[in-house]
């Protein structure tokens, strides 16, 4: 979905409508189209150039903006002027998506046997690339996409780029993040992902699509359709950040993922915190009951790692084993 190139501006209240008339009579450079007596359409560039004027001479808190391409388009969401500014300042993400300036980085996922680590796979994480070649932090990338209503496009580009790199780690697990609310109809939205996976020549069983969602997924049936689509085509899926927010034990029981990842909040300090230990053991119990492999993420201290190994966790991820790197790294650690 391309980014909208202009805004509907709605000036609410008699004072703002009077100020609107004064402004339009004096600003000969503005190119606007009238929608009604309190609403105009204006290009994004001109709206931003006049933002300070609106704030200085009008009741800015009573001005609403909606990103649309044409005056007759129906607005999907009305924004405050501050939100409009945030959205406009995030325009750089449109070029990132259009030019597919995405780089995959790799963080190892290990198991332990006889006290020694073995790399079982990698989480494939996406980073946007600045024009100078530097990497953009993921939170900035996805925040900008959300502000521009481009989450679907960014999620798709990142997902395809990760799958395209899947053959770089031989016959190991490939964890690929996806945002379920950015997928509308799995049969259509995920077709290109399926085709890219086939082209990569990687065993579908090695590709694990990981549910990443910071907000509540309102339609659990929709998520089940997506996961069913993945599993029907030979892939596996993981539920991330279990124990926090959306990912509860009840969701694990209902969705029956192939992998569950204990949220790092309960991992860090688990060796000495009885409450965190109980959460970790509860997830282990539920995960094993549904046939999921349990993974602890965010491990930074060896004491926490040892406790989780002794508890029965099978897979581990975190800075103790390696940060996300531009090339897949091997890990050689011995549990003392």
What's the per-residue H, E or C state across the chain? CCCCCEEEEEECCHHHHHHHHHHHHHCCCCCEEEEECCEEEEEHHHHHHCHHHHHHHCCHHHEEEEEECCCCCCCCCCECHHHHHHHHHCCHHHHHHHHCCEEEEEEEEEEEECCEEEEEEEEEEEEEECCCCCEECHHHHHHHHHHCCCHHHHHHHHHHHHHHCHHHHCCCEEEEEECHHHCCCHHHHCHHHHHHHHHHCCCHHHEEEEECCCCCCCCHHHHHHHHHHHHHCCCEEEEEEECCCCCCHHHHHHHCCCEEEECHHHHCCCCCCHHHHHHHHHHHHHHHHCCCEEEECCCCCHHHHHHHHHHCCCEEECCCCCCCECCCCCCCCECC
252 is a domain residue: yes
Shared domain for 204 and 110, answered yes or no, is yes
What pLDDT score does 13 carry? 94
Shared domain for 147 and 261, answered yes or no, is yes
336 is a domain residue: no
What is the C-alpha R_g of the chain?
Answer: 24
323 is a domain residue: no
What pLDDT score does 194 carry? 85
What pLDDT score does 213 carry? 65
Report the distance separating Cα 56 and Cα 208, nearest Å. 52
What pLDDT score does 311 carry? 97
What pLDDT score does 5 carry? 80
| pLDDT of the chain, 336 residues: tens digit per residue | 456 689 999 999 999 999 999 998 888 888 889 999 899 999 999 999 999 999 999 999 999 999 998 888 998 889 999 999 999 899 999 999 999 999 999 999 999 988 899 999 999 999 999 999 999 999 999 999 988 889 889 999 999 999 999 999 989 999 999 888 777 778 777 888 888 888 888 889 999 999 876 555 667 888 898 899 899 999 999 998 887 656 688 889 999 999 999 999 999 999 999 999 999 999 999 999 999 999 999 999 999 999 999 999 999 999 999 999 999 999 988 887
Shared domain for 58 and 124, answered yes or no, is no
State the total domains in the chain.
Answer: 2
**Contact of 243 with 265, CB cutoff 8 Å:** yes
334 is a domain residue: no
Backbone dihedral angles phi then psi of residue 34, each to the nearest 5 degrees: -75, 135
Shared domain for 37 and 100, answered yes or no, is no
Q: Which domain holds residue 83?
A: 6-89
Shared domain for 153 and 193, answered yes or no, is yes
Shared domain for 224 and 267, answered yes or no, is yes
Shared domain for 14 and 122, answered yes or no, is no
The pLDDT tens digits of the residues spanning 77-89 come to 899 999 999 998 9
What pLDDT score does 245 carry? 59
Shared domain for 100 and 22, answered yes or no, is no
Shared domain for 98 and 182, answered yes or no, is yes
- The CATH code of the domain that includes 117 is 3.20.20.450
Shared domain for 260 and 280, answered yes or no, is yes
What pLDDT score does 276 carry? 96
329 is a domain residue: no
Using the 3D structure, point to which of 65, 89, 113 is the last residue of a domain. 89
99, burial (CB in 10 Å: exposed 0-12, middle 13-18, buried 19+): exposed
Shared domain for 61 and 186, answered yes or no, is no
289, burial (CB in 10 Å: exposed 0-12, middle 13-18, buried 19+): exposed
Report the distance separating Cα 185 and Cα 179, nearest Å. 13
Report the distance separating Cα 279 and Cα 77, nearest Å. 39
72, burial (CB in 10 Å: exposed 0-12, middle 13-18, buried 19+): exposed
Shared domain for 80 and 196, answered yes or no, is no
């Amino acid at each position: 979905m391309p980014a909208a190139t202009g805004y509907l501006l709605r000036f609410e209240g008699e004072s703002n409508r009077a100020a609107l008339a004064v402004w339009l009579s004096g600003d000969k450079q503005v190119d606007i189209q009238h929608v009604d007596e309190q609403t105009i359409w204006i290009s994004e560039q001109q709206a931003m150039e006049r933002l300070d004027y609106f704030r200085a001479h009008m009741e800015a808190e009573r001005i609403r903006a909606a990103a649309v391409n044409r005056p007759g388009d129906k607005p999907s969401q009305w924004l405050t002027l501050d939100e409009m500014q945030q959205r406009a300042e995030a325009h750089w993400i449109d070029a990132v998506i259009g030019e597919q300036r995405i780089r995959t980085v790799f963080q190892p996922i290990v198991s332990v046997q006889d006290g020694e680590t073995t790399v079982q796979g990698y989480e494939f994480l996406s980073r946007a690339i600045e024009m100078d070649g530097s990497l953009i932090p993921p939170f900035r990338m996805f925040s900008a996409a959300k502000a521009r209503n481009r989450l679907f496009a960014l999620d798709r580009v990142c997902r395809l780029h990760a799958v395209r790199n899947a053959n770089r780690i031989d016959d190991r697990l490939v964890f690929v993040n996806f945002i379920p609310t950015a997928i509308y109809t799995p049969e259509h939205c995920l077709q290109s992902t399926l085709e890219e996976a086939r082209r990569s020549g990687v065993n579908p069983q090695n590709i694990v699509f990981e549910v990443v969602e910071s907000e509540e997924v309102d339609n659990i049936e929709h998520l089940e359709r997506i996961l069913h689509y993945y599993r029907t085509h030979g892939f596996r899926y993981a539920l991330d950040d279990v124990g926090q927010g959306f990912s509860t034990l009840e969701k694990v029981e209902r969705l029956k993922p192939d992998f569950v990842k204990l949220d790092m909040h309960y991992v860090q300090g688990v060796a000495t915190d009885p409450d965190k230990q109980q959460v970790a053991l509860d997830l282990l119990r539920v995960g094993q009951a549904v046939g999921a492999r349990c993974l602890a993420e965010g491990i930074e201290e060896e004491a926490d790692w040892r406790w989780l190994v002794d508890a029965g966790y099978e897979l581990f991820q975190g800075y103790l084993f390696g940060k996300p790197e531009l090339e897949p790294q091997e890990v050689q650690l011995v549990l003392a």
